[in-house]
Chains A and B, each alone.
Chain A
């Protein structure tokens, strides 16, 4: 789909043409899934985010400004859908640990890694995933955008609808928690 065709499809979709919207879904689904998976770290959650994001996009398409980039606009919706889903999951599981640094970084004493276990990179990844899962939804989203997606603080603030300072703070808190949570692995490695 070239730029002209894309603009024409977008214009038709904005006028309520569901076939045109279908073309947008088909074109962007894979990139949406990739971001959703990085944000949520879970295939099933990512699928939920994909569907919810397109439903929201369809609902809000009338508000989309034709001068803007549809991909960027959709990217913002996916990021916020991911945060919403993670918040809902957190609320359901009453996981308040994400907001508390002290609790988030605590590792059970009897679960400290041995050199043998550390030798397995899968174990390291498991720990990393655990540490990421302990971040609050906003911290995880901001960290994902900065670390995996290479977005600047300004872009993160626009994507998540935060002030620059709040976006920066979310990334800092995430890195701080991850440093603390992964400290045992670092000491074994060094």
Chain B
């Protein structure tokens, strides 16, 4: 006689499974299966639906009041992602700053060094001074940005994860999302400033930040391991740390802010 498994009897209890009439007949004839089935029935009969606490008519409004100021960014098409309002406003702000710096540079140069015969060397010195100051600002900002990015990467590398339940990287994702736009703008600035090695590190960093942002918040152990492996393979943490140190070193040394030859590749 073929006995039914607990799984089949559980399905039968819930009104699922095939050949229900066969199971029913079998339970009439087989004491062993009938005993298991009775146990399943009596166990599940004990588990009554819990009394759900009442929520009043205004509950929906209360929920809305609690979440209305926390509504997140809408997820849309990829095009939409690239042209989000906050990103456009950051880009506009950055462009504005560049313009202000440019105009301020021109004005101060005009006032401090009026054109005069034989003043070309003085102008050249002033130009180089302004360029150096602007370069120094970029170095400081990028170094700060790299430090923040390093912390996010460290969070990802050290995020607790269990084989069964995976891990929660939502906090690191939030930071990565914030850093992503800035990273892109700094990379463009770095390219324009001739800082190719900085741009290369920022490009690598951007890829990892993108991958982190677009991963599920509740990430599986396997997916998290893949991200970690890619960060490792690109020696990203090392590059970010070295670049940050180098930029800080350059900003602290007079005359050293100008672009340097690319740092040696580490991987």
Q: Which residues of A contact B (CB under 8 A)?
A: 16, 18, 21-22, 25-30, 33-34, 37-38, 41, 43, 50-51, 54-55, 58-63, 84, 87-88, 90-91, 96, 99, 124-125, 128-129, 132, 136-137, 146-148, 152-153, 168, 171-172, 175-176, 178-179, 182-183, 185-186, 189-190
Contacts and interface: CB of A to CB of B under 8 A. Distances in A.
29 contacts: A16-B74, A22-B64, A26-B60, A26-B61, A27-B60, A29-B55, A29-B62, A30-B60, A37-B53, A38-B50, A38-B52, A51-B66, A55-B72, A58-B67, A59-B73, A63-B75, A87-B165, A88-B168, A91-B162, A91-B165, A99-B164, A136-B164, A146-B14, A168-B11, A171-B10, A172-B7, A175-B43, A178-B43, A186-B46
A38 B53 CA distance: 10
B60 A25 contact: yes
A12 B126 CA distance: 57
Interface string B139-172: 0000000000000000000001010111110000
A33 B53 CA distance: 9
B47 A132 contact: yes
A165 B59 CA distance: 38
Interface in B52-101: 52-53, 55, 59-64, 66-68, 70-77, 80
Interface of B: 6-7, 10-11, 14, 16, 39-40, 42-44, 46-50, 52-53, 55, 59-64, 66-68, 70-77, 80, 160, 162, 164-168, 217-218
B74 to A, nearest CB: 5
Majority secondary structure of chain B interface residues (helix, strand, loop or mixed): mixed
B43 A179 contact: yes
B4 to A, nearest CB: 13
Interface of A is mostly: helix
